[in-house]
Structure 1
Amino acid sequence: MPTATTTTELLSSSQLNGGPKKDANKTDEEPYKYAHLMQTWSTQKYPPLEPFEHVDAGSRALKHPKPRSFLESANVTEMTPEFGSDVRGCNLAELSSDQKDQLALEVARRGVIVFRGQEDFIDRGPKFYTEWGRHFGPLHIHPLAGHPEGYPDIHLVYKDKNSRFNVQESITTTVWHSDCSFELQPAGLTAFWLLSQPETGGDTLYASQVLNLRSLSPIMANFLRTLKATHSAFGTMRSKGRRGSLYVNKQMTKSIVGMKREESDVLLNFLYDHVAMSTDHQVRIKWEPMSVVVWDNHVTSHTATSDYAHLKARRHGARISAQSERPIPTLDSLKMDD
C-alpha cells in the first residue's frame, strides 16, 4: 500500500448523469444504468509505490505551434480571470495523444476545467477510463476508497438516501483538500464525473493554491518557502507540485516540521482560513448532467458540498488520477499564464 505518512515543503512548485435528470425520484426497483460501477472493496495488498521519473504531458505541448488548438471548435468561458474554465463543444473521448498533451498544459494554466456534454466519454466505461488516464502517468490507486469490480485505479464516491452525512458532526460539510498529499508522488492531473446526481446541490468547489500563495505578502511567502509540513492519512502529510503554491490542507496536513505544536497550529490555522475564505481564488462547479471536471491536484484544492442529504438523492461519481512528480521546493512562484 502507499506510504501513509510523509513530510514535505509547505509550498508546492509546480452529469454526468446517464439516467434521467430527476434521479432523486427513481425507485430502488428501477434498473440503474451504472450499476456496474458500484463500489467494491478489495482485500488485495498492493506493494509500496516505487519512485519513477515523471514526464509532464503538458511539457510536450509547449513545443506545439498552437498549444490550445484542441479548443479551436469549442466555446470556452473563463470562470474567473485567472482560474477555472467552462468548456462546451470538446469531446474528451476523441482527443488524440497530441491533444491530450494540450489538455494537460491548459489544465496547468487554468487550474481546473469543466467539460460539458461528455456522454461519449462517460458511457465508454471503466476500461476506457483507465486507458485514457494512463496517457498522463501511472494511475493512482486510492488506498481508502471503493472502486468498480476489477478496476482498483478508478476511485468512486457514492451517497444515497441510506448514507450517513456528517451534518450532525460539524456546522459545515466543507473540507478543503488535495487528494492523497501524504504520498511521495501524489496524484497530478485528475478527472472526475458524476454518474448520478441530485436534481440540485452536491456542487464541488475548487481553490487555486497558486493564487492563494501569490496574495500573501512577500515576507510571509518567503517564510513559508523555508518550511516543511507533515501529512498523513492518519493525521499527517507532506508534498509539493509544479508551480509556486501553498501545499497544505486541513484534512491531511498535521504539523509544521521543527515548530512546537502551538506555533504550528497558529500558522496552519491561518493558512486553512486563508484557503477557505479567499473566494476571489475559488470557483464553484454546478454539476450539469454529463460533465467532466479535470484539474491539477498539485496546485488546486477542492471540497464537496453535501447540502442534499434531505433530498434522499443518489450522488455517484468516478475519478481517474495519474501519479505525478514528487513535490519539491521552489524559490519562485510562476504566473498563471506562463
Structure 2
Amino acid sequence: MAPIAVETPQQQAPVRGPIDYKEAFITGPKAFKRDIEEHGSENQAPASYPHYLPTWDPKVYPPLQPFEHYEHGKDADPTFPHLFANGTHRPLAPKIGSEVNGVQLSKLSDKGKDELALFIAQRKVAVFRDQDLADIPIQEALDFGGYFGRHHIHVSSGQPAGYPEVHLVHRGAEDTIARDYFTTRTNSITWHSDVTFEAQPPGTTFLYVLDGPEAGGDTIYASMTEAYNRLSPEFQKRLHGLKAIHSGFEQAENSRSRGGVVRREPIATEHPLVRTHPVTGEKALFVNAQFTRQIVGLKKEESDFLLKFLFNHIAMGADFQVRLKWEKGSVVVWDNRVAVHTAILDWDDGARRHLARITPQAERPYETPFEERK
C-alpha cells in the first residue's frame, strides 16, 4: 500500500482492518436529553456538574499542524521528592497501575508535574483520590493539563460549552444503551489508545469523574510495554521496522451517522508497530483494535493475521492489566503512549456516567533499533 499522507485529510478511507470500529458508548446530540440531565428524573438526580454537560459546537477546525513537544518527564527527580512530599502511593498490580492518596494534582509545582510525568511513564496509569479538578474552574483544569503538551480538540465528542479542549465521556441518566447494545453484541470491550490516527497522539492524559453509577463503569488498562516484553526476541525483532495505518475515518463516520459533528476532516497516519518512550527508553507495542487498520507492505490476509494476534495478545493479557474503580473525586492519569484501555458497559440501572478528559498531545511515535534483552 502506498504511504498515506499525514498532514492533510484523505479523500477516501483506507482498507478496513481485521476488526471493525466498535463504539459501545454511543452518544451524541440525538440521544442527549437535556431536561433530564439538568433536572433529573423520577429515579435519577440531576447532573452534579451541569456546566460540564456536553454540547456539540459545529465549528470546523483546520488540520492539526506539527509542533515540537517538550517532554517534562526528562526533567524529573526520580526520587519524587515534590510529587510525594505529603502523599503515599501503592501498586495495584506488579506491572501496571498505582493508587495515590494525599497528593492534590492541581496544586503541584512545576517540579511536581515533571515528577508526575515520570511516575506515570513508569507505572503506565495511576488513580489519584480526593481530587479537586472537577470543582475548580474549567480553565484552571485546562491550565494544569496544558503543562504536559498541546491540548487536543476531539473531532466528534461532546464538550462543555466554551471549552472545546475538554473531551466528555457522557452517558445520560435513564439511557437504555446497555439493554439495546447487547441485543446485537456479546461484549462492550473496546481496547484502544486515544486518537492514535493523529500524527502526534496523546501522552500524559487526565480523566476525572463527575457522576457515575454506584457500581460498574470501571476502566481497565493494559501495559503495552509488558505486552511487548512478553513476546519472544525473534518475534520482537520481526515487528521492528514495520508500520501500521491508524484510521480516524470510522470514528468520523460513526459521529455523522448519529447526527453528531466532525470538527476536522478525518485522516489516516502511519506509525511504527513498536515505539520507544522518550523518558524511560522502554519499548511498547503501538497497535489497537479501534484505530489500527493495516500493516504497511503486507497483503491484507497477512496483515489481518498479525494484527489479530497482537489484538488478542493484548486483550488476553490479564496479568499485565489493572481494573480501576471510579469514586467521587477520582482522577486517573495514564500515559497513552504505553497503555491501552477500555471502559466497561456493565450497569443497566439508568445511572449517569459522566467524565471529563484533558488530552495533551506528545511527540510523534518513533522507534529505536531492536535490542535483545539480556
* TM over 0.5, shorter chain: yes
The percentage of counterpart residues that share the same residue type is 43
**Cα distance change, pair 149–123 in 1 and its aligned pair in 2 (3 A):** same
| Counterpart residue number, 2:270 | 238
Shift of 1:28: 7.2
Residue by residue over 1:47-85, the C-alpha shift from the partner in whole angstroms, topping out at 9 and shown as x without a partner, is 211111111111111xx3743541132121101223111
Aligned length: 314
**Cα distance change, pair 141–211 in 1 and its aligned pair in 2 (3 A):** same
Contact 2:190 2:290 in 1 (8 A): yes
Q: 2:159 aligns with which of 138, 147, 154?
A: 147
Residue by residue over 1:12-71, the C-alpha shift from the partner in whole angstroms, topping out at 9 and shown as x without a partner, is xxxxxxxxxxxxx9747854331111111121111211111111111111xx37435411
Residue 159 (str. 1) matches residue 168 (str. 2): no
Residue 123 (str. 1) matches residue 138 (str. 2): no
Cα RMSD, aligned residues only: 2.3
Shift of 1:333: 7.0
Contact 2:209 2:329 in 1 (8 A): yes
Amino acid of the residue matched to residue 133 of structure 1? G
Contact 1:213 1:245 in 2 (8 A): yes
Residue by residue over 1:98-142, the C-alpha shift from the partner in whole angstroms, topping out at 9 and shown as x without a partner, is 111110110011100100111x22200311111111101110111
| Counterpart residue number, 1:212 | 227
| Counterpart residue number, 2:23 | none
Q: Structure 1 stretch 196-205 or stretch 162-171: which is displaced more?
A: 162-171
Q: Distance in 1 between matches of 2:45 and 2:158?
A: 23
| TM-score using structure 1 length | 0.87
SS in 2 for 1:207: strand
| Counterpart residue number, 1:292 | 331
Q: Which residues of structure 1 form unaligned runs of 5+?
A: 8-24
SS in 2 for 1:267: helix
Residue 253 (str. 1) matches residue 292 (str. 2): yes
Amino acid of the residue matched to residue 115 of structure 1? F
Contact 1:159 1:315 in 2 (8 A): yes
Amino acid of the residue matched to residue 80 of structure 2? P
Written as runs of structure 1 = structure 2, the 5 A alignment for 1:1-338 is 27=42, 31-61=46-76, 64=77, 66-118=79-131, 120-160=132-172, 161-165=174-178, 166-235=181-250, 237-239=269-271, 240=275, 242=277, 243-308=282-347, 310-332=348-370
**Cα distance change, pair 29–84 in 1 and its aligned pair in 2 (3 A):** closer
Q: Which residues of structure 2 form unaligned runs of 5+?
A: 1-5, 15-39, 251-267
Residue by residue over 1:277-299, the C-alpha shift from the partner in whole angstroms, topping out at 9 and shown as x without a partner, is 01111000011211000000011
Amino acid of the residue matched to residue 105 of structure 2? L
Q: Structure 1 stretch 122-131 or stretch 102-111: which is displaced more?
A: 122-131
**Cα distance change, pair 102–290 in 1 and its aligned pair in 2 (3 A):** same
Amino acid of the residue matched to residue 159 of structure 2? H
